[in-house]
Structure 1
Amino acid sequence: IKTLDSVDEYYEEGRTQHICVGSSQYYLKAESLVFSARIDGKTVATVEIDLRTLKVVQCRAACNKVSEYQQRIENAIASHREEIKARMTA
């Protein structure tokens, strides 16, 4: 799971996944963090978490389909909530 760290990365994620994460300017959402979940370098889902609750808001595969890895991704994020919280205050 990799964070999208630049505006260009948001647009590239949107292009490759055929979703609106770039064109809808998710990079401007102050209370969200967006990840690209990848397996062997291939994006399997784009994930948005709410920084207030540290819970998954969206987890979408290409073309806004449900990712077959959604539960696995949600579990991974849940198990790293304290790490995320610590980095938010660093």
Structure 2
Amino acid sequence: GFLPKEKSFISLVPENLVLTVLKRCEDNGVILRFYEAEGKSVKGYLTFFKEVKNAVKTNLLEEKVSDLKIDRGNIIVNVKPFEIVTVKLMV
């Protein structure tokens, strides 16, 4: 099949969101952890290289806290100043 010459594995914007963890879960999901680094509340947009079926915000123990909205392939996360965010993706 056709693959583009370049493709991001993960895109996380804006720049003040810093990705610190990427790992596979026991249930074939993917865990991402990131934090807000500039002390600002932001709306973050996370894009994964594969289609995401479901995305949830979890606590640090990776227990579900809330569902996240997926809009045209972008997972939308509201992030507080200096907040550490853990997201679980099912692909």
TM-score by length of 1: 0.30
Judging by fraction of residues, say which structure has more helix: 1
Judging by fraction of residues, say which structure has more strand: 2
**Bigger relative contact order, structure 1 or 2 (CA pairs below 8 A, ≥6 apart):** 2
